[in-house]
Chain A
Amino acid sequence: METINQKTALVTGADRGLGLSVAKGLLKEGWRVFAGKYLADYSLLEDLAAEEKSLSILPLDVSDPESVRAAAERIARDAGKLDLLVSNAALMGGNARCAVGGDAPVDTDALLLSFRTNSLAAPILTDRLLPLLEKGEMKRLFFTSSEISSVRLQRRTGDVRYAMSKTALNLGVRLLFNSLRPRGYTFRLYQPGWMKRVNPDGSRVAGAQIDPDESAEEALRLIREDRIDEDRLVLTDYLGHELSF
């Protein structure tokens, strides 16, 4: 249920992992949240929606401009504005068929799918949601990247498909920044850390470094607080450290 002046956010990839944790945190802080849901495997959002009147579940495939258009229409109809975009959905993607000099030829279709989902979706979402963001007050754009995106820090010998998509994302965000920072928009580019995977029942898969709930705390701080250096585009991690590109 919308209350007067309630801030509105769209979180993509919100049916599990970091997206779900950020959506929950925003709800706790009083936001109206549109939560993007892609596949039907997870029902954690539905469980949450049963208790949270400020949560709307939005069917959304970020790699499909038609789906993005429909989502923008729904937000326009139900809320009329957007203060915050959390572009978080991503496809991990295997490596084997995309490496140069690998066992099989480079798989162009796989590279393109990762590009459309992990990289291009960010500018497409921003573009299609811009009229709603213009009506919002906060004008904050949050993008989940990864340390794997950093060319400078790259020590890996694999994961090319995912790494390429996140580096491309950073550049796409730079182009958005160049256009929209002068118009008052503020940007967050976030490395959430090596997070525990979430099972369909909400329990965590063993391993990894931190829980998505923990990483979401830093994400929420970045969303809540203004920075001293909003005119710089920076990639920061869940510990608050800046990473080089």
Chain B
Amino acid sequence: MQKVYLSEEKSVFGARLASRFREAGYEVVREPAPGLSFFIDLTDESLPGDGLSVGEGIDAGAAAEAYRRNVCLPLQKLDAAFPDMTGAKRICFLASRDASVEWSRATAGYGRLMARAALYQILTITKNTWLAKGYTFRLFDPMRGEADPEKAADAAFVYFTRDRYDDGPDNLDRNDEGNLLVRDAFGREIPW
């Protein structure tokens, strides 16, 4: 049975995603371990102190803690699962249009959103090394507060499990898996 690490299944989104994987015959585990097919981290933590805008006294301690929780700790977990993944060897994280330098309209949540942007960067660099070894990557914006979380989880399940165009390891330049991007619950591409 293929194993899926899912960081949480308490939220509506997480619970639905877990049940979709179980229905499809996967074993869902809560601790990263060798032998995973999917590593799915749903961390997106807002800390009260990290909610200030410029001029309101941005809290450096809270922003750093939000950064630690939203990118550093998830990376440590990913690192623990690496490099012994099997099957799809797929790494999936949440994304947000608020963390798009191009599109964001946000004015607060510095630590949380800067963490998300940094995550896009390290996943891209990781992909540059590990794609040739069969690792694949997904970034998904569940459109929190906008899209129905169960429907968003259904969309995430499809996006996470479906392969993209792949011309084999000898033709990485023609491989759609090499083109890491963010998609939202409606399937739209969000720019970096």
Contact = CB atoms under 8 A, between A and B. Distances in A.
Interface string B153-175: 00000000000000000000000
Interface string B63-78: 1100110011101101
A149 B125 contact: no
Contacts of B55: 127, 130, 179
Contacts of B53: 175, 179
Contact of A152 (B54, B57, B64, B192): B192
Contacts of A244: 192
B73 A108 contact: yes
A100 B109 CA distance: 25
A171 B82 CA distance: 28
A233 B101 contact: yes
B79 A154 contact: no
B52 to A, nearest CB: 8
A116 B64 contact: yes
A54 interface: no
Interface in A173-207: 173-176, 178-180
Interface string A33-63: 0000000000000000000000000000000
B18 interface: no
B111 interface: yes
| B-side interface mostly | helix
Contacts of B118: 115, 119, 164-165, 167-168
Nearest to B115: A168
A109 to B, nearest CB: 9
Given A119-B114, A120-B110, A123-B58, A175 B122 contact: no
Interface stretch (B8-16, B22-30, B126-134, B142-150): B126-134
B128 A154 contact: yes
A105 B75 CA distance: 9
Interface of B: 53-58, 60, 63-64, 67-68, 71-73, 75-76, 78-80, 82-83, 99-102, 104-111, 113-122, 124-126, 128-130, 191-192
Interface of A: 65, 98-102, 105-106, 108, 111-112, 115-116, 119-120, 123-124, 126-127, 130, 149-152, 154-160, 163-165, 167-176, 178-180, 233, 244-245
28 contacts: A98-B122, A99-B126, A100-B79, A101-B126, A106-B79, A108-B75, A116-B64, A120-B67, A120-B110, A120-B111, A120-B114, A123-B58, A127-B57, A127-B58, A151-B124, A154-B128, A157-B129, A163-B121, A164-B122, A167-B117, A167-B120, A170-B101, A171-B99, A171-B101, A175-B104, A178-B105, A233-B101, A245-B191
